[in-house]
Amino acid sequence: MSPAPSTFAIKAEEAFGPEVPYLVGKTLGRGAFGTVKLGIHRETGQQVALKILDTKELIANPHRMVQTEREIVLTKLLEHENILKLHDVVLTANHIILVLEYAPG
């Protein structure tokens, strides 16, 4: 059962603006490089995991930028049942958003 889109829409507009094709929901996890949130594609309703990275933090730390670039390249190349698929990368003025396969549980 998918969460009601209305609970996502306000947060998405505030966080990223209307150009981002995903509605942003609850936090699934936090890490050294960003926050992972539940997302729903606005048109298809597909649930995804959105790994949200702050561009300012990446620019301030070149090592993190290199690691992020490497993660994007490798995740796009790898296909394995135990590795979440990278669907897309969305760039905004302040964020890099990795759109990953959602694995509930």
Q: Answer yes or no: is 22 a known binding residue.
A: no
Residue 103 known to bind ligand: yes
Residue 102 assigned ligand-binding role: yes
71 known ligand binder: no
Helix boundaries (H) for the chain: 5-16, 55-60, 62-77
Please state, in angstroms and rounded to a whole number, the distance separating the CA atoms of residues 71 and 11.
27
CA 4 vs. chain centroid, Å, equals: 19
Question: Residue ranges for the binding site for ATP?
Answer: 51, 101-103
* Binding-site entries: 51, 101-103
